[in-house]
Structure 1
Amino acid sequence: MGRAFKIGDHVSWNSEAGRVSGTITKIHIRDFDYKGHTHHTSADDPQYEIKSDKTDHIAAHKGSALRKLPK
């Protein structure tokens, strides 16, 4: 199970381009399709949509991939 975050939290995660940061905009607790892939999730192990600070890119990650940043 990953860490619990809430909408508006500022977080970072590791990407192909290095460490990226952004703000959580949505929390998924049911399976959902994103960019052509089904992401499996539950209330006990949600996935988060995060908007990048530097671009308009939206990423989806489990809580275990995220690190909360100070505001």
Structure 2
Amino acid sequence: MIMANSGKALKKGDRVTWRSHGQDVEGRVVHRITERVEAAGRTVDASPEEPQFKVKSDRTGREAVHRAEALHRRP
């Protein structure tokens, strides 16, 4: 089970925050990535053991990919 820094498993639709360029960004989990793919403009080297998560910013609509440790669940 992959946990965010809050200690709870992440899933599609979860509201999260992450740091980007020195700012907190709020958004939602779009997709759990478990294989090597192109996403958010880069190659993501994920696996079932070490998945990454595509997230979408609420403010800008831009997408990014982060490991679970970088994401914090929002209330």
Q: TM-score band, normalised by the shorter chain?
A: 0.7 to 0.9
Deviation at 1:17, TM superposition (A): 4.5
Match status 1:33 vs 2:38: yes
Q: Distance in 1 between matches of 2:49 and 2:16?
A: 19
Q: Choose the corresponding residue for 1:16, options 18, 21, 25.
A: 21
Aligned-residue sequence identity (percent) comes to 32
**Structure 1 residue ranges, 4+ long, deviating more than 2 angstroms after superposition:** none
Amino acid at match of 2:12: I
Q: Aligned pairs, how many?
A: 68
TM-score, normalised on structure 2? 0.82
Q: Which residue of 1 aligns with 2:6?
A: none
Q: Distance in 1 between matches of 2:30 and 2:50?
A: 17
Q: Which residue of 2 aligns with 1:61?
A: 66
Q: Distance in 1 between matches of 2:50 and 2:15?
A: 19
Deviation at 1:45, TM superposition (A): 1.3
Unaligned runs of 5+ in 1: none
Deviation at 1:49, TM superposition (A): 0.8
